[in-house]
Structure 1
Amino acid sequence: MSHKILKVHPNDNVLVALTDLPAGEPITYDSISLSLVEAVPAKHKFTQQDMAPGEEIIMYGTLVGKAVLPIPAGTRISTENVKHQANTFSGKNKSFEWQAPDVSRWEGKTFMGFHREDGQVGTSNTWLVIPLVFCENRNVNIIKQAFLEELGFGRQDLYKSYVQQMVELYQAGNVDAIAQLPLQGQMSNGHRRIFENIDGIKFLTHEGGCGGIRQDSDALCALLAGYIHNPNVAGATVLSLGCQNAQVGILEEKLRALNPNFSKPLIVLEQQQEGTEQELLTQAIRRTFLGLIEADKITRQPAPLSKLVIGLECGGSDGFSGISANPAVGQVSDLIVALGGKSMLSEFPELCGVEQEIINRCVDDKTADRFVHLMRAYAHAAEAVGSGFDMNPSPGNIKDGLITDAIKSAGAAKKGGTSPVVDVLDYTEYATKPGLNLLCTPGNDVESTTAMAGSGANVILFTTGLGTPTGNPVTPVVKVSSNSKLAERMPDIIDVDTGPVIAGEKTIEEMGAEMLDYIIEVASGNIKTKAQQLDQDDFIPWKRGISL
């Protein structure tokens, strides 16, 4: 790899700037020699030959756009001169063989996890408090205020103290000092934890459960059932109002579908049956405390790496994401699959243009056909409301070099590695087959990570090039930066830096191996991710058809 430019695939007709390149910069790459027509910022792409309107833009070896203006060689491609274009797709048309990576380094290795009666193994031990409908959010928040600080899960509110200092300065008439007032100290737990084997109590407030369409409530119940079933969850307290669409019976039905022998502690209280708010809350707090006592008796025990279920996510992507962070995560996915574990690739709008490659990786026609059906149904739903996958890239994506959805997708798909696709799951369906699973979700970061935890992920790898402060209430989220500048600028949210790949200091294989070792430490509870340290507990159920 050149320290200045990169050609990602031999068939590409654009090059990637690895550093800021000035106008007039002479470029020599293999048999290519040209001078840049304009300055090209790092992460952006430029043409290696003159291109006429209508000519195809090829990157990652696939169609990612078409020229809409004449583009001289050495010109940066942008939303002004290139528009989204992607390959069409149909059923399987090629056979597929996979060369699994060497995993001898990890054979026999274990992580320290929480074993559940159904055979799943958690990487954390969390208790959930869940409202079945938004009407119960207030009661859930009262329980949260009652529990967190007293049980040692709350953190000292550094910013509250900061405001108090400013109030004191204002009341003393010293307004000028406020502008120079530094923030002092650091966030920390105020009390020693009472339950040493419980990693947290998490409160999944949301705006659903009633109104909308009945399918929304059914999907919400399925999602919440997936969270309760997730191996990282020890038990749950569920608050229902009583009259809402998301009925307790639907939740129980979804739980039985996941596990007919469901045996985790489950406390369900209905406000319209309990009477006063005080009676409801007293019951909920007392019974939850007793449940926590039982959950605390579970301890970490060795588990094979085949019990890992890794969610694969990207958010705040940049022009380097598909070159460093995403391929490194793809390497981890392949290692996990080779070790007998599960990985989960979601964000269907960000698979636009690489569908045929993924279809050909499916283990059989039935799996491939389901992927085709879900992709087309999602695309048609987006078009029906005046949108489309081509509108997926965000302003931040475009600013940092991802100018079409097909460019973004071709890089995003690298998170799925190279292994066969063993199953295709619709939203809220649970991953049960070892290997690479596809999960239908939006490209929206939080909606997607929310879904993966609901489908059984016990660790999530989340790549970012711009910096995204996202976590999950039950599943540790390992944040992976595509470039070292981000890791240096936002060290409070980044766990792993794949910038050395861009610098030519490490290979994708080396980064993947390091990341798997890091995951084992996270799964064992030896490392708390940055998202966990910051209590980033993002939870947004998907209202189908609205999000890309």
Structure 2
Amino acid sequence: MKTIKLEPQDNVIVALSNLSQGSAIETNADPLTLLEDIPAKHKVFEQDMAADQDIIMYGVRVGKTTQAVKAGARMSTENSKHATDPYQYRGLQASWQALDVSKYQGRTFQGYHRPDGRVGTANYWLFIPTVFCENRNMDVIKAALLDNLGYNKPNDYQDYVQSLIHAVEEGESLEQVDIASLAPSTHRVFQNIDGIKFLNHQGGCGGTRQDAQSLGKLLASYIDHPNVAGATILGLGCENLQMQDLFAELEKRNPNLHKPILRFEQQKTGTEQELIKTCLLQTFKALKEVNKQERQPAGLDKLVLGVKCGGSDGFSGISANPAVGYAADLLVSLGGSVLLAEFPELCGAEQQLLDRMDSAENAEKFIKLMELYSQSAEAVGSGFHMNPSPGNIRDGLITDAMKSNGAAKKGGNSPVADVLEYTEPVKKAGLNLVCTPGNDVEATTGKAASGATLILFTTGLGTPTGNPICPTIKVATNNQLAARMPDIIDINSGSIIDGSKSIAEVGEEILDYCIAAASGTVIPKAVQLQQDDFIPWKRGISL
């Protein structure tokens, strides 16, 4: 199969492989002769189009033509522009039937049970600065701890540089030097602690008081997270985000939190040496206690799955995103929770999401968040229409509405159970919409803040990112990426494009992988590579 038409009413066709000018492709009517070369992932106009005519894909408007175009021409930024349909709440319109999950009945994962009933997929200890002034102390503590406790990934590049130096000194060819192969450290002092993570950031002082308040909510959400065993917090003492403000946010979020939280303020402690020595001693005492926690069986309804896309391409909405959406529907059918975020990448998909809501309150909240976000972007001369990156466009995502309708497929087809503000915790099973930017790291940071215990991250171009506390699983949209970047890809959905597997088959593979990752029996590549990316959103304009 060379092409695919996603919905009967579409007037563009997707190229599944590179197509040559002059070749013919099958359509529902007569064969269509291509007027130019069509790269894989790009779209071909199926019919002659006048200027300012609607471009339909996924069954909805994703743009308008900017000029007259002929059937067989490629859709591009020169002949097309972003356009969407208006949206409003009409009550529940969509019907959905839970999937057959009989093969998953009785399945469990091995997780860390918390006193409040939540279950973590990992057991991390956090070091958190209330202000950027403490980042250096964080770095000193990190250097002292991670190697000695067996958590650091061996740095192959150090040996590589040593080999290059040796080659220079001996007059040997640099081209023949290869990266040395090092065996990872197998000595972990605390076997039931999956890692010690450092949430360095550039906030906490300066900026606005609202920035500090938002940061306090975010840091409190990470301390409260079910994947976190406890935390060590370092403050300076004079910053905007005062220690008592952070603990007040934590009290509001979870007044019954039962985990060790250590706090130190440098201006009260005295010398840097005394601060770090006391911090390390007290942290070691706490680590000895939380190391007694062990994985225990938990039902799949305890999983909270964040779904994200980044480095998207023209296949994202056809392979990886629908497959992740199928896995999401399976989990919802099992009583679990799914978090779909990236509000700039829901532009053009609003109506289909509103039609899956039976709560006017949720619908009003979603519309308000979308409109305020969009208006803020437009006020500074930007807008959701500027969301696609050069890489997105180069690989066939021409308008934001096209990108968004493909991105929304990660959430599957189940009803929308709730709409959450940035850092607002998930409380309901089912599909939850979470307000975050589309920016990869800001979005994954926000998903973890709302309680995601695993993140499924689809990519068509290759995105090397992860999260400090939420294991992040990468799903490739195409075979070429999976072969080119196997060090970051966990699952390949390119089999959907080549026709060897169905969306449902890959969706089940994804859920099976999630169960194994949640149990610690497989370690996602992002975790292995220590891709611990953490960027707080200041609520400014970020697409």
Report the equivalent of 2:407.
Answer: 412
Cα deviation 1:378-403 (Å, max 9, x = unaligned): 00111111100000000000000001
In structure 1, the residue corresponding to 2:26 is in which secondary structure?
strand
User: Once structures 1 and 2 are overlaid, which stretch shifts more, 91-100 or 476-485?
Assistant: 91-100
In structure 2, the residue corresponding to 1:130 is in which secondary structure?
strand
Report the equivalent of 1:127.
Answer: 125
In structure 1, the residue corresponding to 2:220 is in which secondary structure?
helix
Aligned-partner Cα distance in 2 for 1:226–1:91: 31
The two structures, once aligned, show a CA RMSD in angstroms of 1.0
Report the equivalent of 1:14.
Answer: 12
The alignment status of 1:179 with 2:175, answered yes or no, reads: yes
1:400-479 matches, cutoff 5 A: 400-479=395-474
1:151 to 126, 149, 152: 149
1:346 to 341, 351, 361: 341
Cα deviation 1:167-189 (Å, max 9, x = unaligned): 222233x1x51133222214x43
Q: Which amino acid aligns with 1:28?
A: E
1:497 to 486, 492, 496: 492
In structure 2, the residue corresponding to 1:179 is in which secondary structure?
helix
Deviation at 1:103, TM superposition (A): 0.8
Cα deviation 1:67-118 (Å, max 9, x = unaligned): 0111100000000000001111122355332111111111111000000111
Cα deviation 1:394-434 (Å, max 9, x = unaligned): 00000000010000001000001001111111111111111
Report the equivalent of 2:2.
Answer: 4
Aligned-partner Cα distance in 2 for 1:303–1:450: 25
Aligned-partner Cα distance in 2 for 1:70–1:140: 59
Aligned-partner Cα distance in 2 for 1:150–1:92: 59
For the 8 Å contact 2:123–2:195, the answer to whether it is kept is yes
User: Once structures 1 and 2 are overlaid, which stretch shifts more, 333-342 or 459-468?
Assistant: 333-342
Aligned-partner Cα distance in 1 for 2:540–2:51: 34
The alignment status of 1:261 with 2:256, answered yes or no, reads: yes
Aligned-partner Cα distance in 2 for 1:225–1:417: 30
Report the equivalent of 1:62.
Answer: 60
Deviation at 1:249, TM superposition (A): 1.4
Aligned-partner Cα distance in 1 for 2:352–2:345: 14
1:27-176 matches, cutoff 5 A: 27-172=25-170, 174=171
Aligned-partner Cα distance in 2 for 1:33–1:417: 33
For the 8 Å contact 1:10–1:61, the answer to whether it is kept is yes
Deviation at 1:191, TM superposition (A): 5.2
**Normalising to structure 2: TM-score of the pair?**
0.99
In structure 1, the residue corresponding to 2:178 is in which secondary structure?
coil
Aligned-partner Cα distance in 2 for 1:453–1:293: 26
Aligned-partner Cα distance in 1 for 2:530–2:383: 34
2:324 to 329, 341, 344: 329
**Percent identity between the two aligned chains:** 57
Aligned-partner Cα distance in 2 for 1:14–1:177: 53
Aligned-partner Cα distance in 2 for 1:93–1:41: 41
Cα deviation 1:467-492 (Å, max 9, x = unaligned): 00011100100100000110010000
Aligned-partner Cα distance in 2 for 1:99–1:374: 28
For the 8 Å contact 2:91–2:358, the answer to whether it is kept is no
Aligned-partner Cα distance in 2 for 1:133–1:377: 29
In structure 1, the residue corresponding to 2:133 is in which secondary structure?
helix
Report the equivalent of 2:542.
Answer: 547
In structure 1, the residue corresponding to 2:522 is in which secondary structure?
coil
Cα deviation 1:231-273 (Å, max 9, x = unaligned): 1100000100111111111211111122111111000101111
In structure 2, the residue corresponding to 1:427 is in which secondary structure?
coil
1:229-268 matches, cutoff 5 A: 229-268=224-263
Aligned-partner Cα distance in 2 for 1:50–1:109: 53
Q: Which amino acid aligns with 1:60?
A: Y
The alignment status of 1:391 with 2:386, answered yes or no, reads: yes
For the 8 Å contact 1:469–1:531, the answer to whether it is kept is yes
Cα deviation 1:21-53 (Å, max 9, x = unaligned): 000111112224210000000000010000010
Report the equivalent of 1:207.
Answer: 202
The runs of 5 or more residues in structure 1 that have no matched partner are none
Aligned-partner Cα distance in 1 for 2:500–2:181: 36
The runs of 5 or more residues in structure 2 that have no matched partner are none
Aligned-partner Cα distance in 2 for 1:384–1:38: 39
User: Once structures 1 and 2 are overlaid, which stretch shifts more, 47-56 or 155-164?
Assistant: 155-164
For the 8 Å contact 2:131–2:239, the answer to whether it is kept is yes
In structure 2, the residue corresponding to 1:29 is in which secondary structure?
coil
Cα deviation 1:125-180 (Å, max 9, x = unaligned): 100001111000000111101100111111221101111122222233x1x51133
Q: Which amino acid aligns with 2:217?
A: A
In structure 2, the residue corresponding to 1:149 is in which secondary structure?
helix
For the 8 Å contact 1:32–1:48, the answer to whether it is kept is no
Q: Which amino acid aligns with 2:196?
A: I
Aligned-partner Cα distance in 2 for 1:247–1:9: 54
Aligned-partner Cα distance in 1 for 2:348–2:88: 12
